[in-house]
Amino acid sequence: MRFSSTRDGSLRASLSEALRRGLAPDGGLYVPERFPEYVPADFDGRATLADVGSRLLAPFFEGDRLEADLPAVATEAFDFPAPVRRLERAADRVSVLELFHGPTAAFKDFGARFLAACLAREPHEPGRPLSILVATSGDTGGAVAAAFHRRPWARVIVLFPEGLVSPRQQQQLTCWGDNVRALAVRGTFDECQRLVKEAFADPGLMTRFELSSANSINIGRLLPQTAYYAMASLQAWWEEGEGPSFIVPSGNLGNVLACIWARRMGLPIGEIRLAHNANPTVPEFLAGGDWRPRPSVPTLASAMDVGNPSNMERLRALHPDWRELAAEVRAQSVSDEEIRLRIREDYLELGETWCPHTATAAEVYRRLPREERARRWILVATAHPAKFNEIVEPLIGSAVPVPPALAELLELPSAYEDIAPDLGAMKAALGLE
């Protein structure tokens, strides 16, 4: 299997090369040259996420030097559950896919750990660590830091928007030390993401340092995320003979792209709905074909505060005509007030405690017409509500229990530097001039 750039299909790379580079040489994103095709019976007898992931991803590893390592990589990365739990007090057939049981209590743990496990099996030049640049709107940076922490062949630089992540998210971004550096950028997530892309486009940096990215622009973050959609859809198929539909909280579009890719490979997935916060770029595009990236605006669902999502480039490569993409997925925006209302009402009516991001999916579900709710729906819970206690607890009038792994991180000392949103400032802070 080869991977080509979204901008120039003649620029091809092996899986290992794509993982290590992060971005294609022309600044495009790597996409598979083809997708394998499956039927549910292809996964008979595979009862764990690691088993399903190994089968699902095998064609992408075929012919690569990592091919024989795939089962071990999947076992190492997927060592925590992704349960699908029925909402017992709901009137309809709706469940929640809980993706927050990893070490940093967010769905980003799946992709970050998989990417780190792959790169750990690659050869590394002594004394020349792989420099992992990661822009984060809240959860990615913590997951990447945890996955790469104390790996001697890597150093991690986390860029986050100063003052625009939750206090507990910031603690997860800044508590690591050792081979992890955190930079608070005086700007938005989009500016953090721009700095990463500018670093990759800087000939001097690329010559002197081996740079890679652990954002969802890296194909190694996206491929493993298809595994939990495969597993969740197969469980529903095996139990009820019906493929579920998903509602996915969306920001930079990596998570929903994984769901779309899983459906493209033949997994029994019905409709796919995107739940956005008040940043309207994607819903507006799908409604009328007008692509208008703009600066992001801060919301309660801060990890989704993206005004120019990178993975739209992959979606448009898959569906060059926006009408085709609009037929594949639908998207809706959810305001902060609607997020608050959904957290409060679902706690009272259903006994469920949502993080602000998961609440956007719950709100989009509530908007479904009655006849559509008769189908099997799965809401994707992307983060544990304890990461947003300052938002959630006043709304539900109760303390949110903190997962043990998160509690440990909250006790660690924190350190970071703040920088202006320009490449020179980043290079100076890191001593890369």
What does pTM read for this prediction?
A: 0.94
Of 13-17, 121-125, 144-148, 251-255, the least confident = 121-125
**Residue 170: inside a domain:** no
**Residue 78: inside a domain:** yes
Q: What is the pLDDT of residues 291-333, one digit of tens each?
A: 999 988 999 999 899 999 999 999 999 999 999 999 999 999 9
pLDDT band at 433 (very low <50, low <70, confident <90, very high): low
We report the CATH number of the domain holding residue 329 as 3.40.50.1100
Q: Find, among 310, 320, 351, the residue nearest to 23 by Cα.
A: 310
- Here the tokens at position 69 are 């390592």
* Residues pairing with 184 in the sheet: 160, 418
The CA-CA-CA angle for residues 56, 61, 64, to 5°, reads: 170
Query: What is the mean pLDDT of the segment spanning 48-59?
Result: 98
pLDDT band at 430 (very low <50, low <70, confident <90, very high): confident
Query: What is the mean pLDDT of the segment spanning 166-190?
Result: 93
The total number of structural domains in the chain stands at: 1
**Residue 422: inside a domain:** no
Q: pLDDT at position 124, please?
A: 86
Taken in order 392, 394, 397, 398, the sign of the CA dihedral is positive
| pLDDT of 402 higher than 80 | yes
Residue labelled with tokens 């980043």: 426
Give CA–CA dist 2/45, Å, rounded. 29
Q: Which domain holds residue 340?
A: 72-107+220-402
**Residue 94: inside a domain:** yes
| pLDDT of 181 higher than 70 | yes
Q: At what angle do helices 70-77 and 49-61 cross, to 10 degrees?
A: 140
pLDDT > 90: what percent of the chain? Answer: 84
Across the chain, mean pLDDT equals: 94
Instruction: Answer for the pair 406, 125: CB distance below 8 angstroms, yes or no.
Output: no
pLDDT band at 202 (very low <50, low <70, confident <90, very high): confident
CA distances from 136 to 217, 239, 315 (A): 12, 37, 21
- Here the tokens at position 301 are 């669902």
**Residue 22: inside a domain:** no
Rg of the chain on CA atoms, in Å: 20
CA distances from 27 to 7, 13, 24, 67, 201 (A): 8, 14, 5, 26, 7
Give CA–CA dist 306/321, Å, rounded. 23
**Residue 423: inside a domain:** no
pLDDT > 70: what percent of the chain? Answer: 100
**Residue 88: inside a domain:** yes
**Residue 52: inside a domain:** no
Tally of CA atoms within 13 A in the half-sphere of 57 that contains its CB:
35
Q: At what angle do helices 70-77 and 219-240 cross, to 10 degrees?
A: 80
Query: What is the mean pLDDT of the segment spanning 275-288?
Result: 96
Query: What is the mean pLDDT of the segment spanning 323-349?
Result: 97
| pLDDT of 361 higher than 80 | yes
Query: What is the mean pLDDT of the segment spanning 402-418?
Result: 94
Q: What is the pLDDT of residues 128-158, one digit of tens each?
A: 888 898 998 878 889 999 999 999 999 999 9
